[in-house]
Amino acid sequence: MVEGVGASLRTSAQNTLEEAGMKDFAGRIAVVTGGGSGMGRELVRQLVAEGCNVAMCDVHLGPMQETKALCEQARIPQGTRITSHVADVSDEAQMTRFRDEVAAQQDTDRIHLLFNNAGIGGGGSMIANSREEWERTFNICWRGVYLGCRLFLPMMLKADEGHIVNTSSINGTWASVGPKIPHTAYAAAKFAVKGYTEALITDLRINAPHIKCSVVMPGHIGTSIVANSRKIQAGTEADDISAVELAQARARIASTGADAAALSDEDIKAKMQERARNFLTNAPTSAAEAATIILNGVKAGQWRILVGADAVEIDKRVRATPERAYDVAFFEEMAGAVGWRLGA
């Protein structure tokens, strides 16, 4: 009996490994959330370059216009359609409108690829941050994925084949960005995305076997998520930093043991701006490199796509000694191994 179960499991694993991915994106229709910047922008650019029709959404039109212009400068294949749609992925009414606009503007009743990519940071602490900020982060990072799947699945069911790609994070495996920095909203959402996508594997295999799914777990990717998250949390496109944001940044700096009281508001602003620049420019993996890894993973039929050498290393270490994952020594050892600069 046990041997029979073991043989069955081995056969199932072999079949999974041999499942073919969607090898050719040309002529397909893809939906990409968060297409105005970062990995979303690069996914749009690389999909379009392969002749895939793309419908992207973001909370502001301007960044998507920049994405589209970059695609057009690269001389996209003739007849390839790129459409832009303003939508907050956490809002069901806006996402429903987005879906209906995709059907109308792409002139289709089906899509083949769904990249639930949009996400923001913030709301790290259940204590120090407001409930509104916490839930804003959680709802965009988790509910946006759920609504994307829920609303676009009927269009995928009509396609000959489909692939859902949900962006989690290495923080969906390891809920930390450092022992002195709370990280609850983002990490909780990314754990939810990871678990949901893994559960979808069985659901799709039983009820929609022509649709595959992948969970993407990036490490530190060079994007503007730090700066963009601040703007989205503040509800503005401007670069101005509010008094509330200054107070929160001052409290975060003080929590590390630094003398925040000795810093002026201009000092705090400069530190916030430098932190955003460092996140973008000091990343070991660029957004373009990340998009390539993701699309190659889809083509290879991978259900689990780790992005970046740091993500691979963190995943390995957490799996090896999960009971140590939140010790200060674990973080310091891991940061040294992946080349993260402590205190950066």
Catalytic site positions:
186
Say if residues 62 and 245 touch (Cβ distance below 8 Å). no
DSSP-assigned letters across all residues of 8-33: HHHHHHHHHHH-------TT-EEEEE
User: 291-301 burial, b if ≥16 CB within 10 A, otherwise e?
Assistant: bebbbebbeeb
How far apart (Å, rounded) are the C-alpha atoms in residues 76 and 67? 12
CA distances for 245 relative to 229, 234, 338, angstroms: 12, 8, 30
How far apart (Å, rounded) are the C-alpha atoms in residues 143 and 216? 16
Identify the bridge partners of residue 99 per DSSP, sorted by sequence position: none
User: 257-285 burial, b if ≥16 CB within 10 A, otherwise e?
Assistant: eeebeebeeeebbebbeeebeebbeebbb
DSSP-assigned letters across all residues of 151-195: HHHHHHHTSSSEEEEEE--GGGTS--S-TTS--HHHHHHHHHHHH
